[in-house]
A = this chain, B = another copy of it.
Amino acid sequence: MAGTSIISIASPADFHVHLRQGDLSNLVTPHVSQGGFHLAYPNLKPPITTTAAALAYKRSLQSICPSTHFLMTLYLSPDLTPAEIRTAKEAGIVGVKSYPRGVTTNSEGGIENYEMYYPVFEAMQEVGMVLNLHGEVPSDPTTNTHILNAEPSFLPHLIKLHQTFPNLRIVLEHATTRAAVDVVKSLGPTVGCTITAHHLALTVDDWAGQSWNYCKPVAKYPDDREALREVIREGHPRFFLGSDSAPHPPHTKSTSAPSSSCAAGIYTSPILLPLVAHLLEEFGALDRLEGFVSTFGRDFYKVEGQGGKVTLRKVEGRKVEERWALGGESVIPFWAGKKLGWEIIENGV
Protein backbone atom coordinates (compact mmCIF):
# COMPACT_ATOMS: atom_id res chain seq x y z
CA MET A 1 0.00 0.00 0.00
CA ALA A 2 3.03 2.26 -0.30
CA GLY A 3 2.08 5.49 -1.95
CA THR A 4 -1.60 5.25 -1.05
CA SER A 5 -2.96 8.71 -0.38
CA ILE A 6 -6.71 8.05 -0.12
CA ILE A 7 -8.27 5.21 1.87
CA SER A 8 -11.95 4.49 1.98
CA ILE A 9 -13.25 1.94 4.48
CA ALA A 10 -16.50 0.51 5.80
CA SER A 11 -17.90 2.45 8.73
CA PRO A 12 -15.60 2.04 11.78
CA ALA A 13 -16.84 0.70 15.13
CA ASP A 14 -15.32 1.36 18.55
CA PHE A 15 -15.94 -1.66 20.77
CA HIS A 16 -14.83 -0.03 24.02
CA VAL A 17 -15.28 3.65 24.86
CA HIS A 18 -16.16 5.81 27.86
CA LEU A 19 -18.85 8.41 27.20
CA ARG A 20 -19.69 9.54 30.75
CA GLN A 21 -22.82 11.40 31.87
CA GLY A 22 -24.03 15.01 32.11
CA ASP A 23 -21.95 17.90 30.74
CA LEU A 24 -18.92 15.74 30.06
CA SER A 25 -21.06 13.37 28.00
CA ASN A 26 -22.29 16.35 25.96
CA LEU A 27 -18.67 17.22 25.21
CA VAL A 28 -17.29 13.77 24.42
CA THR A 29 -20.13 11.78 22.82
CA PRO A 30 -19.95 13.75 19.53
CA HIS A 31 -16.21 13.07 19.41
CA VAL A 32 -16.88 9.44 18.51
CA SER A 33 -18.31 10.49 15.18
CA GLN A 34 -15.76 13.28 14.78
CA GLY A 35 -13.05 10.62 15.15
CA GLY A 36 -14.58 8.63 12.28
CA PHE A 37 -16.53 6.06 14.29
CA HIS A 38 -20.25 5.50 13.94
CA LEU A 39 -20.79 2.63 16.30
CA ALA A 40 -19.87 2.77 19.99
CA TYR A 41 -20.01 0.21 22.77
CA PRO A 42 -19.77 2.36 25.91
CA ASN A 43 -18.73 1.58 29.48
CA LEU A 44 -20.25 3.50 32.34
CA LYS A 45 -19.44 4.24 35.94
CA PRO A 46 -21.48 3.86 38.07
CA PRO A 47 -22.11 0.49 36.47
CA ILE A 48 -25.39 -0.23 34.72
CA THR A 49 -26.96 -3.33 36.20
CA THR A 50 -30.47 -3.37 34.72
CA THR A 51 -31.92 -3.37 31.23
CA ALA A 52 -33.99 -0.32 32.09
CA ALA A 53 -30.91 1.66 33.12
CA ALA A 54 -29.04 0.59 29.99
CA LEU A 55 -31.89 1.73 27.77
CA ALA A 56 -32.14 5.04 29.61
CA TYR A 57 -28.42 5.61 29.11
CA LYS A 58 -28.76 4.71 25.44
CA ARG A 59 -31.55 7.30 25.03
CA SER A 60 -29.35 9.90 26.69
CA LEU A 61 -26.46 9.20 24.31
CA GLN A 62 -28.74 9.02 21.31
CA SER A 63 -30.21 12.42 22.16
CA ILE A 64 -26.69 13.87 22.03
CA CYS A 65 -25.73 12.03 18.84
CA PRO A 66 -28.69 10.69 16.87
CA SER A 67 -26.48 9.47 14.04
CA THR A 68 -24.21 7.25 16.15
CA HIS A 69 -25.24 3.67 16.79
CA PHE A 70 -24.85 2.65 20.44
CA LEU A 71 -24.58 -0.98 21.53
CA MET A 72 -25.34 -1.41 25.20
CA THR A 73 -24.02 -3.63 28.00
CA LEU A 74 -24.83 -4.60 31.53
CA TYR A 75 -22.28 -4.84 34.33
CA LEU A 76 -21.58 -8.25 35.84
CA SER A 77 -22.69 -8.17 39.47
CA PRO A 78 -24.45 -10.50 41.90
CA ASP A 79 -27.74 -8.74 41.09
CA LEU A 80 -27.68 -10.09 37.55
CA THR A 81 -29.96 -13.10 36.93
CA PRO A 82 -30.51 -15.42 33.95
CA ALA A 83 -34.00 -13.89 33.68
CA GLU A 84 -32.52 -10.39 33.41
CA ILE A 85 -30.16 -11.69 30.70
CA ARG A 86 -33.17 -12.78 28.63
CA THR A 87 -34.90 -9.47 29.22
CA ALA A 88 -31.73 -7.64 28.20
CA LYS A 89 -31.32 -9.70 25.04
CA GLU A 90 -34.89 -8.98 23.96
CA ALA A 91 -34.27 -5.28 24.55
CA GLY A 92 -31.24 -5.38 22.25
CA ILE A 93 -28.51 -5.34 24.90
CA VAL A 94 -25.42 -6.91 23.40
CA GLY A 95 -23.12 -7.91 26.23
CA VAL A 96 -22.10 -8.03 29.88
CA LYS A 97 -18.92 -6.43 31.15
CA SER A 98 -16.80 -7.67 34.01
CA TYR A 99 -14.15 -5.44 35.46
CA PRO A 100 -12.26 -5.43 38.74
CA ARG A 101 -14.16 -4.15 41.73
CA GLY A 102 -11.06 -3.23 43.67
CA VAL A 103 -12.51 -5.09 46.62
CA THR A 104 -12.21 -8.64 47.83
CA THR A 105 -15.88 -9.37 48.41
CA ASN A 106 -17.06 -12.15 46.08
CA SER A 107 -13.55 -12.51 44.81
CA GLU A 108 -11.32 -15.48 44.24
CA GLY A 109 -7.66 -14.67 44.02
CA GLY A 110 -8.63 -11.00 43.86
CA ILE A 111 -10.99 -11.25 40.89
CA GLU A 112 -14.64 -12.13 40.62
CA ASN A 113 -15.49 -15.64 41.67
CA TYR A 114 -16.77 -16.47 38.22
CA GLU A 115 -18.33 -19.75 39.30
CA MET A 116 -21.15 -17.95 41.06
CA TYR A 117 -22.03 -16.44 37.67
CA TYR A 118 -22.17 -19.72 35.77
CA PRO A 119 -25.99 -19.66 35.52
CA VAL A 120 -25.74 -16.15 34.06
CA PHE A 121 -23.05 -17.22 31.58
CA GLU A 122 -25.15 -20.23 30.65
CA ALA A 123 -28.05 -17.91 29.81
CA MET A 124 -25.75 -15.57 27.88
CA GLN A 125 -24.36 -18.45 25.87
CA GLU A 126 -27.89 -19.60 25.11
CA VAL A 127 -29.21 -16.24 23.91
CA GLY A 128 -25.96 -15.19 22.24
CA MET A 129 -24.69 -12.33 24.38
CA VAL A 130 -21.02 -11.33 24.62
CA LEU A 131 -18.97 -11.41 27.85
CA ASN A 132 -16.41 -8.59 28.04
CA LEU A 133 -13.53 -9.13 30.43
CA HIS A 134 -11.16 -6.56 31.87
CA GLY A 135 -8.37 -9.09 32.19
CA GLU A 136 -6.28 -8.05 35.16
CA VAL A 137 -5.87 -9.42 38.66
CA PRO A 138 -5.23 -6.98 41.53
CA SER A 139 -1.68 -6.32 42.68
CA ASP A 140 -0.46 -8.34 45.63
CA PRO A 141 3.13 -7.89 46.85
CA THR A 142 3.06 -11.23 48.67
CA THR A 143 2.72 -13.08 45.34
CA ASN A 144 4.81 -10.59 43.34
CA THR A 145 1.70 -9.55 41.42
CA HIS A 146 1.94 -6.01 40.11
CA ILE A 147 0.53 -3.84 37.34
CA LEU A 148 2.94 -5.27 34.78
CA ASN A 149 2.06 -8.93 35.21
CA ALA A 150 -1.60 -8.39 36.17
CA GLU A 151 -2.79 -9.33 32.69
CA PRO A 152 -0.74 -12.52 32.18
CA SER A 153 -1.88 -13.61 35.65
CA PHE A 154 -5.50 -13.27 34.57
CA LEU A 155 -5.22 -15.46 31.46
CA PRO A 156 -5.84 -18.82 33.21
CA HIS A 157 -9.28 -17.46 34.16
CA LEU A 158 -10.01 -16.64 30.52
CA ILE A 159 -8.95 -20.12 29.44
CA LYS A 160 -11.11 -21.77 32.09
CA LEU A 161 -14.18 -19.70 31.18
CA HIS A 162 -13.75 -20.53 27.52
CA GLN A 163 -13.36 -24.24 28.26
CA THR A 164 -16.47 -24.21 30.43
CA PHE A 165 -18.55 -22.17 27.96
CA PRO A 166 -17.06 -22.90 24.54
CA ASN A 167 -19.98 -21.31 22.72
CA LEU A 168 -20.08 -18.15 24.83
CA ARG A 169 -18.51 -15.28 22.93
CA ILE A 170 -15.89 -13.69 25.16
CA VAL A 171 -13.86 -10.56 24.46
CA LEU A 172 -10.63 -9.94 26.31
CA GLU A 173 -10.57 -6.16 26.46
CA HIS A 174 -7.59 -3.89 25.82
CA ALA A 175 -4.92 -6.59 25.56
CA THR A 176 -1.43 -5.28 26.26
CA THR A 177 0.87 -8.31 26.37
CA ARG A 178 2.32 -10.94 24.08
CA ALA A 179 1.04 -13.53 26.56
CA ALA A 180 -2.55 -12.32 26.03
CA VAL A 181 -2.21 -12.28 22.25
CA ASP A 182 -0.83 -15.82 22.25
CA VAL A 183 -3.57 -17.15 24.51
CA VAL A 184 -6.40 -15.52 22.56
CA LYS A 185 -4.98 -16.86 19.29
CA SER A 186 -4.81 -20.35 20.80
CA LEU A 187 -8.47 -20.36 21.81
CA GLY A 188 -11.52 -21.07 19.71
CA PRO A 189 -13.46 -18.80 17.34
CA THR A 190 -15.70 -17.54 20.16
CA VAL A 191 -12.86 -15.66 21.84
CA GLY A 192 -12.02 -12.18 20.57
CA CYS A 193 -9.76 -9.42 21.76
CA THR A 194 -9.76 -5.63 21.59
CA ILE A 195 -6.66 -3.51 21.25
CA THR A 196 -6.50 0.23 21.92
CA ALA A 197 -4.75 2.81 19.75
CA HIS A 198 -2.55 4.05 22.56
CA HIS A 199 -1.19 0.60 23.40
CA LEU A 200 0.06 0.43 19.82
CA ALA A 201 2.08 3.58 20.50
CA LEU A 202 3.29 3.41 24.11
CA THR A 203 5.58 1.31 26.29
CA VAL A 204 6.36 1.49 29.99
CA ASP A 205 9.05 4.09 29.29
CA ASP A 206 6.38 6.49 28.04
CA TRP A 207 4.28 6.62 31.19
CA ALA A 208 7.22 6.76 33.61
CA GLY A 209 7.06 10.33 34.90
CA GLN A 210 4.39 11.22 32.34
CA SER A 211 0.94 10.81 33.85
CA TRP A 212 -0.87 11.74 30.64
CA ASN A 213 0.29 8.42 29.23
CA TYR A 214 -0.89 6.54 32.29
CA CYS A 215 -3.85 4.20 31.84
CA LYS A 216 -5.03 0.79 33.03
CA PRO A 217 -3.89 -1.66 31.89
CA VAL A 218 -0.57 0.15 31.73
CA ALA A 219 1.42 -0.04 28.51
CA LYS A 220 3.95 -2.86 28.81
CA TYR A 221 7.36 -3.69 27.31
CA PRO A 222 8.49 -3.11 23.71
CA ASP A 223 8.15 -6.81 22.92
CA ASP A 224 4.54 -6.76 24.12
CA ARG A 225 3.78 -3.76 21.93
CA GLU A 226 5.40 -5.63 19.06
CA ALA A 227 3.06 -8.58 19.63
CA LEU A 228 0.03 -6.28 19.35
CA ARG A 229 1.43 -4.82 16.14
CA GLU A 230 2.21 -8.26 14.73
CA VAL A 231 -1.29 -9.62 15.22
CA ILE A 232 -2.70 -6.60 13.40
CA ARG A 233 -0.17 -6.89 10.56
CA GLU A 234 -1.20 -10.52 10.31
CA GLY A 235 -4.83 -9.44 9.89
CA HIS A 236 -6.08 -11.83 12.54
CA PRO A 237 -9.88 -11.51 12.44
CA ARG A 238 -10.43 -11.95 16.18
CA PHE A 239 -8.38 -8.87 17.08
CA PHE A 240 -10.10 -5.53 16.59
CA LEU A 241 -10.19 -1.99 17.88
CA GLY A 242 -11.65 -1.00 21.22
CA SER A 243 -10.18 2.41 22.03
CA ASP A 244 -10.89 2.48 25.79
CA SER A 245 -10.84 6.22 25.18
CA ALA A 246 -11.51 7.80 28.58
CA PRO A 247 -11.99 11.54 29.13
CA HIS A 248 -10.69 13.02 32.37
CA PRO A 249 -10.78 16.63 33.56
CA PRO A 250 -7.22 17.89 32.96
CA HIS A 251 -6.53 18.65 36.64
CA THR A 252 -7.11 14.97 37.49
CA LYS A 253 -4.36 13.92 35.07
CA SER A 254 -1.72 16.04 36.81
CA THR A 255 -0.07 15.03 40.07
CA SER A 256 0.43 18.26 41.95
CA ALA A 257 1.20 16.65 45.31
CA PRO A 258 2.75 13.42 46.59
CA SER A 259 -0.51 12.51 48.30
CA SER A 260 -2.70 12.25 45.20
CA SER A 261 -2.35 9.96 42.21
CA CYS A 262 -3.60 10.94 38.79
CA ALA A 263 -6.57 9.42 37.02
CA ALA A 264 -5.86 6.43 34.77
CA GLY A 265 -7.02 6.90 31.20
CA ILE A 266 -6.10 8.20 27.77
CA TYR A 267 -8.43 10.14 25.52
CA THR A 268 -8.34 9.34 21.82
CA SER A 269 -11.96 9.58 20.56
CA PRO A 270 -11.80 12.81 18.53
CA ILE A 271 -8.69 11.74 16.60
CA LEU A 272 -9.21 8.01 16.68
CA LEU A 273 -9.34 6.98 13.03
CA PRO A 274 -6.53 9.29 11.81
CA LEU A 275 -4.45 8.15 14.80
CA VAL A 276 -4.99 4.46 14.08
CA ALA A 277 -4.19 4.98 10.39
CA HIS A 278 -1.04 6.88 11.36
CA LEU A 279 0.11 4.11 13.72
CA LEU A 280 -0.73 1.24 11.38
CA GLU A 281 1.17 2.96 8.60
CA GLU A 282 4.19 3.36 10.90
CA PHE A 283 4.39 -0.35 11.59
CA GLY A 284 3.45 -1.54 8.15
CA ALA A 285 -0.17 -2.57 8.66
CA LEU A 286 -2.10 0.12 6.79
CA ASP A 287 -3.62 -2.52 4.53
CA ARG A 288 -5.23 -4.03 7.64
CA LEU A 289 -6.99 -0.82 8.66
CA GLU A 290 -10.47 -1.73 7.48
CA GLY A 291 -10.39 -5.16 9.08
CA PHE A 292 -9.04 -3.84 12.39
CA VAL A 293 -11.39 -0.89 12.83
CA SER A 294 -14.47 -1.91 10.84
CA THR A 295 -15.18 -5.46 9.76
CA PHE A 296 -13.50 -7.80 12.28
CA GLY A 297 -15.33 -6.35 15.27
CA ARG A 298 -18.67 -6.15 13.52
CA ASP A 299 -18.30 -9.75 12.42
CA PHE A 300 -17.47 -10.93 15.92
CA TYR A 301 -20.38 -8.99 17.45
CA LYS A 302 -22.64 -9.94 14.54
CA VAL A 303 -23.74 -6.38 13.94
CA GLU A 304 -24.43 -5.09 10.45
CA GLY A 305 -22.52 -2.12 9.14
CA GLN A 306 -24.17 1.15 10.17
CA GLY A 307 -23.40 4.31 8.26
CA GLY A 308 -21.55 4.90 5.05
CA LYS A 309 -17.91 4.63 4.15
CA VAL A 310 -15.31 6.82 5.76
CA THR A 311 -12.50 8.26 3.69
CA LEU A 312 -9.06 9.33 4.85
CA ARG A 313 -6.49 11.39 2.99
CA LYS A 314 -2.76 11.33 3.63
CA VAL A 315 -1.51 14.73 4.79
CA GLU A 316 1.82 16.29 5.56
CA GLY A 317 1.05 16.45 9.23
CA ARG A 318 -2.15 17.62 10.80
CA LYS A 319 -1.73 18.95 14.33
CA VAL A 320 -3.84 17.37 17.08
CA GLU A 321 -5.89 19.97 18.98
CA GLU A 322 -4.50 20.86 22.41
CA ARG A 323 -7.88 20.81 24.12
CA TRP A 324 -11.61 20.48 23.53
CA ALA A 325 -14.08 22.32 25.77
CA LEU A 326 -17.83 22.70 26.18
CA GLY A 327 -19.96 24.12 28.98
CA GLY A 328 -17.31 24.17 31.67
CA GLU A 329 -15.87 20.76 30.81
CA SER A 330 -12.65 20.22 28.92
CA VAL A 331 -10.46 17.35 27.79
CA ILE A 332 -6.91 17.12 26.51
CA PRO A 333 -6.36 14.39 23.93
CA PHE A 334 -3.57 11.90 23.47
CA TRP A 335 -0.80 13.32 21.28
CA ALA A 336 -2.04 16.90 21.86
CA GLY A 337 0.00 19.20 19.64
CA LYS A 338 1.65 16.32 17.77
CA LYS A 339 1.08 15.72 14.09
CA LEU A 340 -0.90 12.95 12.40
CA GLY A 341 -0.31 11.79 8.84
CA TRP A 342 -3.97 11.24 7.98
CA GLU A 343 -7.20 13.25 8.09
CA ILE A 344 -10.86 12.40 7.49
CA ILE A 345 -12.25 13.96 4.32
CA GLU A 346 -15.51 12.06 4.09
CA ASN A 347 -17.20 10.98 7.30
CA GLY A 348 -20.17 9.08 5.87
CA VAL A 349 -23.00 8.64 8.31
Contacts and interface: CB of A to CB of B under 8 A. Distances in A.
B146 A258 contact: no
Interface in A268-316: none
Contacts of A144: 221-223
Contacts of A255: 209-212, 253-255, 262
A148 B209 contact: no
B261 A210 contact: yes
Contact of A209 (B203, B221, B261, B334): B261
Interface string A307-349: 0000000000000000000000000101111000000000000
A147 B205 contact: yes
Main secondary structure, interface of A, reads loop
A222 B253 CA distance: 26
Contact of A258 (B148, B261, B332): B332
Given A146-B222, A255-B255, A208 B209 contact: no
A204 interface: yes
Nearest to A337: B259
Contacts of A149: 221
A144 to B, nearest CB: 4
A176 interface: no
A34 interface: no
A336 B211 CA distance: 20
B262 A209 contact: yes
A213 interface: yes
A3 interface: no
A263 to B, nearest CB: 8
A258 B334 contact: yes
A261 B148 CA distance: 21
B203 A146 contact: yes
A209 B214 contact: yes
Interface string A219-250: 00111011000000000000000000000000
Interface in A164-223: 203-205, 207-214, 218, 221-223
B146 A213 contact: no
B141 A210 contact: no
A178 to B, nearest CB: 10
A257 interface: yes
A264 interface: yes
A139 interface: yes
A211 B212 contact: no
A210 to B, nearest CB: 5
Interface of A: 139, 141-142, 144-149, 203-205, 207-214, 218, 221-223, 225-226, 253-259, 261-264, 332, 334-337
Given A139-B205, A144-B221, A207-B209, 4 more contacts: A148-B204, A209-B264, A212-B258, A253-B255
